[in-house]
Structure 1
Amino acid sequence: MNDGVELTRNPYPSPVASVKMHEVIYWSDGLRVKGLLAEPAEEGIYDAFLYLRGGIKGVGMVRPSRIAQFAQQGFVVFAPYYRGNRGGEGNEDFAGEDRHDVFSAAAYLRDHPSVNGRLHIFGFSRGGVMALQAAVELEHVTSLVTWGGVSDMELTYDERKDMRRMMKRVIGGSPKTQPESYKWRTPLYDAERIQCPVLIIHGVLDTNVTFEHALRLENRLKELGKHCETWYYEHFDHNFPPLENLGVVRKLTTWMKQQKGVNGHGDAS
């Protein structure tokens, strides 16, 4: 049972003719988990794009129209649902053991016949912390983008009173009773292991994931001398207006394609 090995692939309705989609079941840490694959319909060799959703369970689930946006920009996109979702085995964690579903998804993308070896990681909201965990753990990452992303799990607990019951249940307690569990889920403590360029996108008015998350990540990366770029939007909150959203998608995918990784050849080897 090799992580990232595809078990089944079934056609999935695509919202646009220029993108083909499949729902994939793949191995992750001994579990059969699921994700959505979006590829340009035109045959070719493309950069890989690992899309990490926000939310938990049905909240923030992968949207075909969203990942199609990125595939239309010339990427092979794979978006894991995380374990325990839509028929996948196991129980979803919250940036805990389900990080292995992300690592396995990266392995799946690397073996895709239409991928050229360049891997970009994108995380939105809760997916931001998952993206950072992946950049800490994985080699050969070309770039990382976190958009409205969580960077500090204890800060999330402090700020989101509506999520505390869920976090206590999933993580096993509060930051006071389970400090090591929250620290383990907070990649700021391991940020020295991030080798790829990082782009932080955040709306200053965000109340779902406050701007403080972006500032803490920016400060930590700069403290460590990492390659970090920031796009902050003073008048936007967690979800950008549609036209501005599309403009940022085009801008960030252009940024990704311009990145050279660590060694100038697109990866961190």
Structure 2
Amino acid sequence: MNIGETGIPSGTLLQRDLLQSHRQDVRLYVLTYSSEGLRVKGYLAVPDSKGPCPALIFCRGGIRKVGMPRKRRVMTMAERGYVVFAPFYRGNEGGEGRDEFGGEDRLDVIHAITMIKSLPEVKPGLVPLIGFSRGSIMALSAAKACQGVGPVVVWGGVSDLFDTYEERVDLRRMLKRVVGHPRKQIDAYQSRSPVYWVDALKVPIMIVHGTSDALVPVRHAWKLAEGLKRSGKDFAMELHEGFGHRFPREQDDKALDAVFEWLSQKLQQMEISY
């Protein structure tokens, strides 16, 4: 158990605030929890049901205001029968600390897993993760580092941050400030690039990507898939022809249905042998 400077164990729920929602079947909260002595926040969506539900962590993309988890997205996932928590990561929306784009803030996901398992609405068991865009780094880092993680979905995910630096000229200033220069801070880029540590991943992985994604080009999906295949890992890949970084609503709902069907199947398989 990690104890932060405050003396409060990481993964402790500190505060729960109910938000107004137009949906009758899902309750939405903002939670505050502890991570390495910091107060970190996130959305929690709880489906109305007669008993506890499995938990799921949704790892947002972007940094700071860009890519914040959308309430609708989190509630849509909860409608499929999961208690869903979407951490904002440290330094965001009133949380303490500094967003490091996959640095020490990756611990916020690990401690979120501990926190969500403690909630009365959550059924005991493995916790699957969905990582969107930069969130794939966070989700796969958590899967590599801790026990109790279920299958992981990488949706429009960054798999090689060196490539992102070359592809996204608009992000270079941020990356140099937060991560460093790829030719000088090589370790920092490799630690944020799942293609360099696929051997350490022990959970099933599903890759979802639009072939016309201009923000995270589809070659990130292919590189991750090639690495997983080379390492003999259990993975699936669904490429959506002509779709960009975010899918149109109808196609997005269909893709989500396929994701949750895969999650349910893999989660059941994993818990039999867990």
Is residue 70 of structure 1 aligned with residue 77 of structure 2?
yes
- Which residue in the other structure is 2:138 paired with? 130
Contact between 2:56 and 2:129, CA under 8 Å: does it hold in 1? Answer: yes
Alignment gaps of 5+ in structure 1: none
Moved over 4 A (4+): none
- Which residue in the other structure is 2:114 paired with? 107
Offset of residue 267 of structure 1: 7.5
Given the alignment, which residue of 217, 223, 230 partners 1:216? 223
Contact between 1:82 and 1:92, CA under 8 Å: does it hold in 2? Answer: yes
Offset of residue 268 of structure 1: 7.2
Deviations 1:36-56 (CA, angstroms, capped at 9, x unpaired)? 100102231211110001111
Is residue 266 of structure 1 aligned with residue 274 of structure 2?
no
Q: How does 1:226-265 map to 2 (within 5 A)?
A: 226-260=233-267, 264-265=269-270
Residue 100 of structure 1 aligns to a residue whose secondary structure is helix
Q: Name the CA distance, whole Å, in 2 between partners of 1:89 and 1:67.
A: 22
2:119 partner amino acid: H
Q: Name the CA distance, whole Å, in 1 between partners of 2:273 and 2:145.
A: 12
Offset of residue 247 of structure 1: 1.1
Residue 258 of structure 2 aligns to a residue whose secondary structure is helix
TM (norm. structure 1) is: 0.95
2:224 partner amino acid: L
Q: How does 1:76-91 map to 2 (within 5 A)?
A: 76-91=83-98
Contact between 2:15 and 2:32, CA under 8 Å: does it hold in 1? Answer: yes
Residue 126 of structure 2 aligns to a residue whose secondary structure is strand
Identity of aligned residues (%): 41
Offset of residue 138 of structure 1: 1.8
Offset of residue 15 of structure 1: 3.8
Greater CA drift, 135-144 or 200-209: 135-144
Greater CA drift, 114-123 or 235-244: 114-123
Given the alignment, which residue of 176, 185, 191 partners 2:192? 185
Alignment gaps of 5+ in structure 2: 1-7
Q: Name the CA distance, whole Å, in 2 between partners of 1:225 and 1:150.
A: 21
Is residue 149 of structure 1 aligned with residue 154 of structure 2?
no
Is residue 29 of structure 1 aligned with residue 36 of structure 2?
yes
Contact between 1:204 and 1:210, CA under 8 Å: does it hold in 2? Answer: yes
Q: Name the CA distance, whole Å, in 1 between partners of 2:142 and 2:273.
A: 13
Q: Name the CA distance, whole Å, in 2 between partners of 1:96 and 1:15.
A: 36
Offset of residue 109 of structure 1: 1.5
Is residue 196 of structure 1 aligned with residue 203 of structure 2?
yes
Is residue 168 of structure 1 aligned with residue 194 of structure 2?
no
- Which residue in the other structure is 2:5 paired with? none
Offset of residue 187 of structure 1: 2.4
- Which residue in the other structure is 2:68 paired with? 61
Deviations 1:94-143 (CA, angstroms, capped at 9, x unpaired)? 11111011111111122222222131100111111111111111222221
Counterparts in 2 of 1:93 and 1:179: CA distance versus 1, 3 Å = same
Equivalent residue pairs, number: 266
